[in-house]
Amino acid sequence: MKKQLLVLLIAIMGMSTYAQKRTLLHCGALIDTQNGKVLSEQTVTVEGNKIIKVEKGYTSAKANETIIDLTSQTVMPGLIDMHVHIEGETSPSRYLETFTKNKADIAFKAYEIGERTLMAGFTGVRDLGGSGVNVALRNAINAGTVKGPRIYTAEKAIGTTGGHADPTNGYREDLMGDPGPSKGVINSVDDARKAVRQRYKNGADLIKITATGGVLSVSKNGVNPQFTQEEANAIVATAKEYGMNVAAHAHGIEGMQRAIKAGVQTIEHGSLMDKETAQLMKKYNCYLVPTLSAGRYVRKQADIKGYYPDIIIPKIMKVDEGILATMKMVYQENVPIAFGTDAGVFPHGENAKEFAYMVETGWSPMFAIQSATITNAKLLDMEGQLGVIKANFLADIIAVDGNPIDTITAMENVSFVMKNGTVYKK
């Protein structure tokens, strides 16, 4: 009996010790995303998956506390990319892989991409369209089976027959078929509702629509509107009934305006937006996700013969001609901005290059960092949990070498990654 009591006492003491174990991060500089300030010499205390407190100065460690020395680095909340495609990556053989890769192949690649993204400092991503592997990867990461960022996924994007998200564009006739709402292809209001409900059934966190043509799909028009106003309205209304927001891929003006009026949360790309549309975005509190990295990369690769199918090259040139002027206008008009890159269109892990492109356009380094942290947390309905280093927030914390407020490219040199209280890179 005494032996049993002793074993029980040791077990209770062990659990108590574990519960009290804390990590102290000594931060040389800490970016306060809530107030847009850089604080010096701070200690962030983490217990379990939560931030317990943030204090001025370097707090000494007590029993069962571990210190991580980040005194020569700049510390900030984990970054969130609102537009990635985690199931794959650009390459000259990308279009052929549709016919050669099984879902298992896609899954193993997605796992590697997820870990690469996390190590680049992106502890959260919004995946805007894949085959459904993105849902399984999200679940595996949440269960702790594999490493990766927090994933909020749209599962399969919704488009129209022949539109940007029609998965059979460019196929020969006997393979083309006639995909419908179950595959994310709609042609009526009823189809629209069914496609949204199918995404919900498949495990999506949000809905993504292709409101206009796209650049990299094997089809001729990259800017035309591809949903009627009634279809767009039905998609957003149904999504809201199921507790989901809607993101809208859009390059051309008419498709953008229909999506904004329908009530989408974000416009992705917005390459050829005009001032009228910019004003409409402000009126509806709709955020633009500029994805500048994708535009830069695609234009560069277009000069390589055979990298993209010939039908795509004129679309790349058309968007490239207008995007710089569009983004300058967007900056001047003070359109709401969320950070997103379209990673997958360019190599994953290089997401942080977007910060320098944003600063080149006119936004300040602090604004760019806030867009990838506190702004995106709010749009993901994680306000109060992510995006700020503050007591009771989840412990998603990264550090970079150098001072990104002075040199924004420092964001590309992530040297420390903690997600949900676990250190993945040190």
pLDDT tens-digit profile, the chain (426 residues): 444 444 444 444 444 334 559 999 999 999 999 999 999 999 999 999 999 999 999 999 999 999 999 999 999 999 999 999 999 999 999 888 888 999 999 999 999 999 999 999 999 999 999 999 999 999 999 999 999 999 999 999 999 999 999 999 989 998 999 999 999 999 999 999 999 999 999 999 999 999 999 999 999 899 999 999 999 999 999 999 999 999 999 999 999 999 999 999 999 999 999 999 999 999 999 999 999 999 999 999 999 999 999 999 999 999 998 899 999 999 999 999 999 999 999 999 999 999 999 999 999 999 999 999 999 999 999 999 999 999 999 999 999 999 999 999 999 999 999 999 999 999
Q: Decide: helix, strand or coil at residue 86.
A: coil
Question: Any residues with CB less than 8 A from the CB of 68 and at least 6 apart, and which?
Answer: 23, 24, 25, 26, 416, 423, 426
Pairing of strands 414-419, 422-425: antiparallel
Q: Is residue 360 part of a domain?
A: no
User: Could you tell me which of 224, 162, 166 has the C-alpha nearest to residue 195?
Assistant: 166
Q: Is residue 1 part of a domain?
A: no
Question: Do 71 and 85 fall within a single domain?
Answer: no
Question: Do 62 and 140 fall within a single domain?
Answer: no
Question: Do 158 and 84 fall within a single domain?
Answer: yes
Question: Do 50 and 198 fall within a single domain?
Answer: no
Question: Do 299 and 406 fall within a single domain?
Answer: no
Residue 415's domain comprises: 20-78+387-425
What's the structural domain count of the chain?
2
Q: Is residue 356 part of a domain?
A: no
Question: Do 70 and 97 fall within a single domain?
Answer: no
pTM of the predicted protein model: 0.93
Pairing of strands 266-269, 287-289: parallel
Question: Do 103 and 127 fall within a single domain?
Answer: yes
